[in-house]
């Protein structure tokens, strides 16, 4: 990714976000534009947040959509496709940044796939509250579920069938993979 601004403070980044109609990531003084997604990407993101909102209604854990910024202790400011916090949300930046997600969901696009699996996940792992990280492919049925075992150990489980059931212990929910892909035409929809 190419930085659109370099050598700016986090405070200046926050001012930029206030005035902007687009979202940006911020890390180590650099600002990066976040690309728009395809229909499949947007639909999967909507399916995830809708399903989580229905299942978690009136429960101690609550979902947030891609408008909620998350900041990692390692310094990345970004907007995951979905996140969930439990208990009281820990917020900063005038209630615009969530500090304590237990679940983060990213929908994979060809242009973000490597970043979401690599550097971005490295930053997300620095969040002490994070227990589950879901990567949902937007082109084929593939959900990668990383579950935290301890501070330095994560377990990966891949789901490749629409009938597979994903268990999210952090929020006490089981979800069928098919719910993520409702209304999405895929080349390989098993």
Q: What is the pLDDT of residues 126-179, one digit of tens each?
A: 999 999 999 999 999 999 999 999 989 999 999 999 999 999 999 999 999 999
pLDDT of residue 36: 72
Cα–Cα distance, 12 to 148 (Å, whole number): 34
Summary count for the chain: helices (H), strands (E):
4, 14
**Residue 189 pLDDT > 80:** no
**Residue 186 pLDDT > 80:** yes
- The model's confidence at residue 104, banded by pLDDT at 50, 70 and 90, is very high
Question: Collapsing DSSP states into helix, strand and coil, what is residue 162?
Answer: coil
Report strand pairing: 69-71 vs 77-78. Answer: antiparallel
Residue among 81, 84, 80 at smallest CA distance from 44: 81
The residue written with tokens 């550097």 in the block is 119
Termini Cα distance of the chain: 33
Task: Measure the CA dihedral 183/184/186/190, to 10°.
Answer: -50
Q: DSSP state, 152?
A: T
pLDDT of residue 105: 98
Reported as a single tens digit per residue, the pLDDT across 57-100 is 999 999 999 999 999 999 999 999 999 999 999 999 999 999 99
Q: For the chain, where are the E strands, in sequence order?
A: 24-27, 30-33, 61-64, 69-71, 77-78, 82-86, 91-92, 97-98, 101-108, 132-137, 143-150, 153-159, 165-168, 173-176
pLDDT of residue 83: 98
Question: Collapsing DSSP states into helix, strand and coil, what is residue 102?
Answer: strand
Reported as a single tens digit per residue, the pLDDT across 4-58 is 777 899 999 999 999 988 899 899 998 988 877 889 999 999 999 999 999 999 9
**Residue 3 pLDDT > 60:** yes
pLDDT of residue 39: 93
Q: Boundaries of CATH 3.90.1570.10 in the chain?
A: 37-181
CATH number of this structure's domain 37-181: 3.90.1570.10
**Residue 101 pLDDT > 90:** yes
Residue among 116, 100, 106 at smallest CA distance from 62: 100
Number of C-alpha atoms within 13 angstroms, CB side, residue 146?
A: 23
pTM of the predicted model as reported, rounded to 2 decimal places? 0.93
Question: Collapsing DSSP states into helix, strand and coil, what is residue 140?
Answer: strand
Please give the structure tokens belonging to residue 157.
């489980």
């Amino acid at each position: 990714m190419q930085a659109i601004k370099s050598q700016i403070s986090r405070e200046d980044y926050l001012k930029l976000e206030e005035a902007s109609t687009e979202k940006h990531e911020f890390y180590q003084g650099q600002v990066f534009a976040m690309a728009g997604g395809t229909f499949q990407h947007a639909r999967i993101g909507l399916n995830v947040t809708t399903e989580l909102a229905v299942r978690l209604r009136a429960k101690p854990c609550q979902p947030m959509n891609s408008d909620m910024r998350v900041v990692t202790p390692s310094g990345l400011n970004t907007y995951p496709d979905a996140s969930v916090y439990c208990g009281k949300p820990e917020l900063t930046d005038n209630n615009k940044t969530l500090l304590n997600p237990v679940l983060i969901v990213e929908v994979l696009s060809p242009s973000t796939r490597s970043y979401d699996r690599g550097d971005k996940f490295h930053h997300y792992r620095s969040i002490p509250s994070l227990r589950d990280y879901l990567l949902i492919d937007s082109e084929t049925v593939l959900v990668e579920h990383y579950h935290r075992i301890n501070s330095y150990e994560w377990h990966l489980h891949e789901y490749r069938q629409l009938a597979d059931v994903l268990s999210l212990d952090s929020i006490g929910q089981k979800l069928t993979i098919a719910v993520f892909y409702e209304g999405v035409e895929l080349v390989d929809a098993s």
